[in-house]
Amino acid sequence: MTLEQGIVFAVLALALAMFIWGRFRYDLIALLALLVVVLTGVLPADQAFAGFAHPAVITVAAVLVISRALQNAGIVDVVIRLLSPLRGRMILQLVGQTVAVAVLSAFMNNIGAMALMLPVALRNAYREGYSPAIALMPLAFGSILGGMSTLIGTPPNIIISTFRAESLGEGFSMFAFAPVGGTVALLGVLFVALVGWRLIPAERVQADTGDSPLDISDYITELRVPEDSKVAGRSIDEIEKLADDEAVIVGLVRGKSRRLAPRGHSEVRAGDLLVVEADPEGLKELIGATDLELEEARELEHGDLRSDEVVMFEAIVGAASALVGKSPATIRLRDRHGLNLLAVARQGRRIQRRLSHTRLRSGDVLLLQGGEERMKEALSEFGLLPLAERDVNIGRPQHLLLASGIFVAAIVTVVSGLLPVHIAFATAVAALALFSVVRRDELYTAIDWPVIVLLGAMIPVGTALELTGGTALLADGLLALTGDFGPVWVIVLLMVVTMMLSDVINNNATAVLMAPLAFDLAGRLEVNADPLLMAVAIGASCAFLTPIGHQSNTLVFEPGGYRFGDYWRMGLPLEIMIVIVSVPLLLLIFPL
């Protein structure tokens, strides 16, 4: 081993260890790895940032913007409407949701498809009374499986195709992945939706057969402000603080006037009727700290907290939400947005006590009350995902038709060979922007920049591995492991090693590192490189053993209430099935 090879292998080993550790962002790790190979002279300085101009990077960025355009146009809402007849039938819901996310993932970014379907799956679980853990892991796996089917379904496929184009002069076509990837996706989706969820530990999938976790009917009470009350003249905020913010005043009735979601600075007068949302302990604390009197009992429901101006809304705390790690007491929703936080559900169960001091997590479901416009502002500002059912958003049918038409036209130009994929999709992005299907700011916010930096940095690191002969050294080692068993076992080992890497590091980085190795192995074995490249593409997408290998898995980790070791229970048999099914298909469709 030469000194330059030693430097590259040391950099890669350290980068892999840091990827697995997870202490630092993967884009920063990739950038540091790039800088080290450049500063040590292993990679020429003029090639340092060539990766950012790589067709794979351009294509991935374009696909992310196109995914946002399709979302804006309302195509996901159409999918939601198609799934609505499955209410009340859990197994059919699981199959329908998983199939839907897989189909969406084949034609848009799989992370985007997962994020769009996550609220649907959570809503169905909460409304139908089964644990979110039953639905979310199959949904995440379905989004990964669906991406295997087409060139644009997942970044690893784009990376593999562009490496083939650079080496052989032509990349894979749009649907070259479909015969193998599509078959694997179909069988995988059926497995996770029908069988796989049963392998999740029982304590995670135990159904809650009680009321909806956000049903607050039993927690709404009316309190009368008596004459000469000591709270008369005080603001609503001051009164709530007497109960340590464990009671929320959600309505104020004064004579014939009824105000819902009153502002915190509103003063309370003698004779007022306060509509209070609190659990028994919070209500006891409020009454004990004041002279408020319980009003004559009557049935109070969600409808009592709504009006033409005030709505109640259920929303999910997204993974990137500004509320993650904060408590309701520090959010100050009422002061900033005029909203009341009425309840929080976590993993299908309502949080019962000390809500004001509970730190919110990704996947928590919030029940909010307030004005509709203020609600929309808060959803955007805090990164909340709507949980409530939406009507099909085809009020702008021209945008749905236009976005679909531009997208289909881009695919046709790629399939027909008129334009390379990165040019065709960049042109589609420009057209979508010109026709305002995506706003100018969305052209940048829709792109997952850490992924772009990761790709732009790791591609030159992979180049350094090739230039130093490191790829050839790895190929020799892999061939030594397979001995005289022949190229079929090389393909199996290549796929398994790629799967193992993808389970612990970003799958895009895995594809960047393994694609040159596949080419080198094909040259040494004097066989067709396509089945080996396809083996890497499939293996890079098989991140089913851990929550850190793929962002879809990470998205459902907290909402589903999973533990790190839960994933392999469903993922390991799925990966074994994929190897058994895909290798014979690869040899049949791409003969050696």
Tokens of 162: 């562009």
Q: What pLDDT score does 542 carry?
A: 92
Tell me how far CA of residue 566 lies from CA of 203, 204, 439, 542, in angstroms: 11, 9, 40, 16
**∠ Cα 490 495 498 (to 5°):** 120
Q: Helix, strand, coil % (nearest 5) of the chain?
A: 60, 10, 30
CA–CA separation, 550 and 241 (whole Å): 43
Q: What pLDDT score does 213 carry?
A: 63
Q: Which domains does the chain have, with CATH numbers?
A: 3-48+75-207+448-589 (no CATH), 211-392 (3.30.70.1450)
Phi-psi region of 88 (alpha: psi -120 to 50; beta: other; left: phi over 0): left
Q: How far apart are the first and last CA of the chain?
A: 31
**Which amino acid makes up residue 204?**
R
This model's pTM is above 0.75:
yes
**∠ Cα 360 365 371 (to 5°):** 100
* 3-class DSSP state of 274: strand
385: phi then psi, degrees, rounded to nearest 5? -105, 130
Q: What pLDDT score does 211 carry?
A: 53
Is 463:47 a contact under the CB 8 Å cutoff?
Answer: yes
Split the chain (592 residues) into runs of 10 and give each run's mean pLDDT: 89 86 84 94 91 88 85 72 78 92 88 80 79 91 94 90 89 92 95 92 69 65 87 88 81 84 85 84 83 71 64 77 79 76 76 71 82 78 69 53 90 89 93 88 83 88 88 84 81 92 84 89 91 95 87 83 89 96 94 87
CA–CA separation, 271 and 402 (whole Å): 58
Q: What pLDDT score does 393 carry?
A: 43
Tokens of 566: 């839960």
Tokens of 199: 């392998």
345: phi then psi, degrees, rounded to nearest 5? -115, 140
